[in-house]
Amino acid sequence: MLLNINNLSRKFDGKEVLNIPQLSIEQGELVGILGNNGAGKTTLFRLCLNLLQATEENVSINNHNVALSSEWKKYTSAFIDDHFLIDFLTPMEHFDFTGYLYGVDKLDIMNLLNDFISFLGEEILKDKKKRIEKFSKGNKQKIGIVSAMITLPKLLILDEPFNFLDPSSQIQMKKLLQNYNQKYKATVLLSSHNLQYIMDVCSRITVLESGRIVHDVSNPDEAAKTAVKNYFENRL
């Protein structure tokens, strides 16, 4: 198992917001986490990345406990929100610095960026001096996603990667995720409020409600997808 969760829970002010007895994700899976606001998606990701301290926890990535080891960081990358960006850097400075942290040299970063030129677009790439803080939310989202992907992590975690993207970029985002997953046999874990995007992209769908897993379907057929859709319709 690349990612293994046992008895993971988190409380805020005495209220339990996440409780996952067991969740295992294999190398090469493309997993979509669905849930309404407050379902616990971002909390789950932050606990997996050891950005929050769990009330109880046993999260391991490639057999390394995330709270006790740093080894997992060498092959794990994520973009949760724009706090992950160093916004006084230019995009290229940010890409180079990310590469440096993961031991990837500038030339390799430049070569890897070729796969993302169309997605990033001219506005991000043409102005070599424009700092990240000056870009729109959508372009910051693109920069963060690409920064997470260019080090070729075994485990890629993206929270709401379709947020702030225009329709054309959303279509490109879906293709990038699928291609990355297939080309590098990487595990991709992403969340979204958009049911259709998850249905289109992911080989496994996991649904959270009030911090608990209520559906977990691998290689969903049409019947399974319909069941997930009906689940959310029944909550209207």
In a domain, 93, yes or no: yes
Q: Do the domain assignments include residue 27?
A: yes
For the record, the structure tokens of 29 come out as: 């899976």
Total-model pTM: 0.95
* Closest C-alpha to 186, from 5, 25, 20, 23: 25
Range of 171's domain?
Answer: 3-210+228-233
Q: What are phi and psi of 69, to 5 degrees?
A: -140, 160
Cα separation, 230 vs 74, in Å, equals: 40
In a domain, 222, yes or no: no
CATH of the domain at 55: 3.40.50.300
pLDDT in tens, the chain (236 residues): 799 999 999 998 888 999 999 999 999 999 999 999 889 999 999 999 999 988 776 899 999 999 999 999 999 999 999 999 999 999 999 999 999 999 999 999 999 999 999 999 988 988 889 999 999 999 999 999 999 999 999 999 999 999 999 999 999 999 999 999 999 999 999 998 888 899 999 999 999 999 999 999 998 888 888 888 888 888 76
State the pairing for strand pair 15-25/3-12: antiparallel
Nearest alpha-carbon partner for 49 in 26, 78, 20:
78
CA–CA gap between residue 52 and residue 50 (Å, rounded): 5
Task: Give the total residue count for the chain.
Answer: 236
Number of domains in the chain: 1
Burial 90-124 (b: 16+ CB within 10 A, else e): bbbebbbebbeeeebeeeebeebbeebeebbbeeb
In a domain, 67, yes or no: yes
List of residues 6+ apart from 236 with CB closer than 8 A: none
Query: Cα separation of 116 and 172, whole Å?
Result: 10
